Amino acid sequence: MKSPKLPKIEKEFENLKQIVLAAENFFLAPHLNPDGDAIGSMLAFNSLLNRLGKKTILFSQDPAPSNLYFLNGIKKIKNRLPKKTPKNCVAVLFECSVPNRAGDIEGFLSGCSKIVNIDHHKTAQLYGDVNIIDHSSSSTAEIIYRFFYDIKLKINKSEAACLYTGIVTDTGRFHFPATSSRTHQITALLMQENFNFSRINDIIYATKPYPALKLLGRALESLEVSENGKLAKMSLRLSDFSEFSAVSEHTENIINYAMMIETVKACVLFKQDRERITATFRSKGDIDVSKVAALFGGGGHKNASGCKIRASLEQAEERVMARLRELLK
Ligand SMILES: [Mn+2]
């Protein structure tokens, strides 16, 4: 599959600069189930706009992860759309491959004068009036950093903390292959702002709620390997969530435990909620699990992707596992 020819990022930065300087009202939204990168990038960009005297509406249909509540401005994010789209409002979407990845915002968007699409995923479609898509960036935070540089605004301490959070979470603490020397250079520059990076890492990586640990135990108990140890599977039932008063957010990172098995090339975690099954995939090397996610209407990266399936847990497992076995052949 050939990816679409991307517009040059310098030119798109220039277009964004013109829009940012000209418009008064902005609407900012991350993808559903927003992560540290989408939220951190959005908050830093919000701060940039506010410093330029712009009015902003921050929206996220799903709540931001509760461990990100230390980020400056996060409490301004509303989970309800305003009744009316303000006049000449520019919508800026963070990591939304298509606009409805931000939720049910179609009506609101139709009243916006322009749409800006900022993303670093291969799944990004070019639906915006401005499309700032850069596959070479480890994170959207890296792109936002470059925009600060471009618009010649010196990053402040709280913006640096937001962008650092985006980079750290999206690179798995500088561990995933998308991490580049530029990622480290940008991080080094951010750290000059003297925010408490150690505390950020403590909050995100060394703090776990009790239900999350109990759920991890249940997932590990369910762990099975097949295809000569190449494929791993874990499952969490609705009853596991209710037993420990756990929510979906408590499953974060569980999938990575299956990847610790040396022989495993791909793994999947199935999570059951009231309406559907969420399948989360990870893989190593050239095994492209985003292809499997796409077959079920999902998306993501080559080595990290996911999808949602309306079926029973057993049916979803059967259908997805068959595709994963094909992929590993
Ligand atoms: Mn990201």
The predicted structure's pLDDT at residue 185: 97
Greater pLDDT, 4 or 292: 292
What is the Å distance from ligand 1's center to 312 Cα? 30
Q: Mean per-residue pLDDT for 27-55?
A: 97
Output b/e per residue, 113-122; b: 16+ Cβ within 10 A. Answer: ebbbbbbbbb
d(Cα 50, Cα 148) in Å, to the nearest integer? 13
Contact (CB, 8 A) for 219 and 269: yes
What is the Å distance from ligand 1's center to 242 Cα? 30
What is the Å distance from ligand 1's center to 121 Cα? 7
What is the Å distance from ligand 1's center to 187 Cα? 15
Instruction: Convert the pLDDT of each residue in 243-293 to its tens digit.
Output: 999 998 899 889 999 999 999 999 999 999 999 999 999 999 999 999 999
Q: For residue 132, give the H/E element and its range.
A: strand 130-133
What is the Å distance from ligand 1's center to 62 Cα? 16
What is the Å distance from ligand 1's center to 140 Cα? 5
- Residue 2 reports pLDDT greater than 60: no
- Residue 1 reports pLDDT greater than 70: no
- Residue 4 reports pLDDT greater than 60: no
What is the Å distance from ligand 1's center to 229 Cα? 30
What is the Å distance from ligand 1's center to 183 Cα? 13
What is the Å distance from ligand 1's center to 275 Cα? 26
pLDDT bucket at 315, cuts 50 / 70 / 90 = very high
Nearest to 43 by CA among 134, 157, 131: 157
What is the Å distance from ligand 1's center to 42 Cα? 11
What is the Å distance from ligand 1's center to 95 Cα? 6
Q: What is the pTM of this model?
A: 0.82
What is the Å distance from ligand 1's center to 239 Cα? 31
Q: Mean per-residue pLDDT for 16-32?
A: 97
What is the Å distance from ligand 1's center to 215 Cα? 25
CA 77-80-85 angle, 5° bins:
95
What is the Å distance from ligand 1's center to 314 Cα? 31
What is the Å distance from ligand 1's center to 47 Cα? 19
What is the Å distance from ligand 1's center to 26 Cα? 21
Q: Mean per-residue pLDDT for 74-79?
A: 98
- Show the 3-state SS of 214-267: HHHHHHHHHCEEECCCCEEEEEECHHHHHHCCCCHHHHCCHHHHHCCCCCCCEE
The predicted structure's pLDDT at residue 107: 95
**Domains, the chain, ordered by start:** 9-205 (3.90.1640.10), 210-328 (3.10.310.30)
Q: Mean per-residue pLDDT for 31-57?
A: 97
What is the Å distance from ligand 1's center to 101 Cα? 13
Instruction: Convert the pLDDT of each residue in 60-69 to its tens digit.
Output: 999 999 899 9
Instruction: Convert the pLDDT of each residue in 105-156 to its tens digit.
Output: 999 999 999 999 999 998 899 999 999 999 999 999 999 999 999 999 999 9
The predicted structure's pLDDT at residue 79: 97
Give me the DSSP letters along 17-40.
HHHHHH-SEEEEEE-SS--HHHHH
Instruction: Convert the pLDDT of each residue in 168-183 to its tens digit.
Output: 999 999 999 899 999 9
What is the Å distance from ligand 1's center to 227 Cα? 31
What is the Å distance from ligand 1's center to 66 Cα? 18
The predicted structure's pLDDT at residue 6: 74
Q: For residue 318, give the H/E element and its range.
A: helix 313-328
Residue 59 structure tokens: 């929206």
What is the Å distance from ligand 1's center to 133 Cα? 11
- Residue 7 reports pLDDT greater than 80: no
What is the Å distance from ligand 1's center to 199 Cα? 21
Q: Mean per-residue pLDDT for 228-253?
A: 95
What is the Å distance from ligand 1's center to 132 Cα? 13
Q: Residue 69 contacts by C-beta under 8 Å, 6 or more apart in sequence? A: 75
